[in-house]
Amino acid sequence: MSAHSRRRGAKGMVAVSTYIGWTRPPGPGATNSSSKSPIPPSWRSTRAQRSLYAVHADLDEVSAYAIDKQTGRISALNRQSCGGKNPVHLCIDSTGRWIITANYTAGSVGVVPIEKDGTLGTRADLVTLQGEPGPDRVRQAGSHPHDIVFDPSGRFLAVPDLGFDRIFVFRLDPASGKLAPNDPPPCW
């Protein structure tokens, strides 16, 4: 589960688990003090719930945190560039090896590897979305990907783009982390 707080005086992320019923403030290392907005807009944990990953809408980074299953404390591991300004959404592929980010302002999709120890490696791929702007010349002057969804098989990912009024479909190579446009798109 993911959650964030915008209440006055909030000090960063709060870990919430619906599985074991706890809510705790993070450890001191988890506060995003380098950002004007201390609350990441999108975060996900691994299936084993040993790591947490967050994007920072006013930066171009993904952060990795370790989750102490005994105490619920969250401690910062590292950060890596996702290659594009204003990442607003992230997802983790079914292998647990890759984070894919929707970089809203940059109009791109980034892929960052998850290492065996839960830290993040150097970005593996960056795709700049191409297309024609939508009819609203103010809100749709350029590409604005805002979500990433894997299909049920986990082979394809869909990236809706507000700026181009379009859904891009990619295949993720699970060995290299490279994205390839799906041509022709799947019929779901």
Q: How far apart are CA 121 and CA 115, in angstroms?
A: 6
In this prediction, residue 18 carries a pLDDT of 32
**Mean of the pLDDT values across residues 149-153?**
90
> Which residues sit opposite 22 in a β-bridge?
17
In this prediction, residue 50 carries a pLDDT of 84
Residue 162 tokens read as: 């507000």
Q: Residue 170: exposed, middle, or buried by beta-carbon count in 10 A (0-12, 13-18, 19+)?
A: buried
How does pLDDT run across 72-129, given as a tens digit for each residue?
A: 888 999 999 999 999 999 999 989 999 999 999 999 999 999 999 999 999 999 999 9
Q: Of residues 176 and 50, which shows the higher confidence score?
A: 176
DSSP 8-state code for residue 114: B
Q: What is the reported pTM?
A: 0.76
| Chain mean pLDDT for the chain | 79
Q: Of residues 138 and 98, which shows the higher confidence score?
A: 98
Q: How far apart are CA 88 and CA 38, in angstroms?
A: 14
Q: Which domains does the chain have, with CATH numbers?
A: 15-181 (2.130.10.10)
Number of other CB atoms surrounding residue 186 within 10 Å: 12
How does pLDDT run across 35-71, given as a tens digit for each residue?
A: 333 344 466 666 566 889 999 878 899 999 998 888 8
Helix, strand or coil, per DSSP, at residue 23: strand
Residue 52 tokens read as: 């947490």
> Which residues sit opposite 54 in a β-bridge?
43, 63
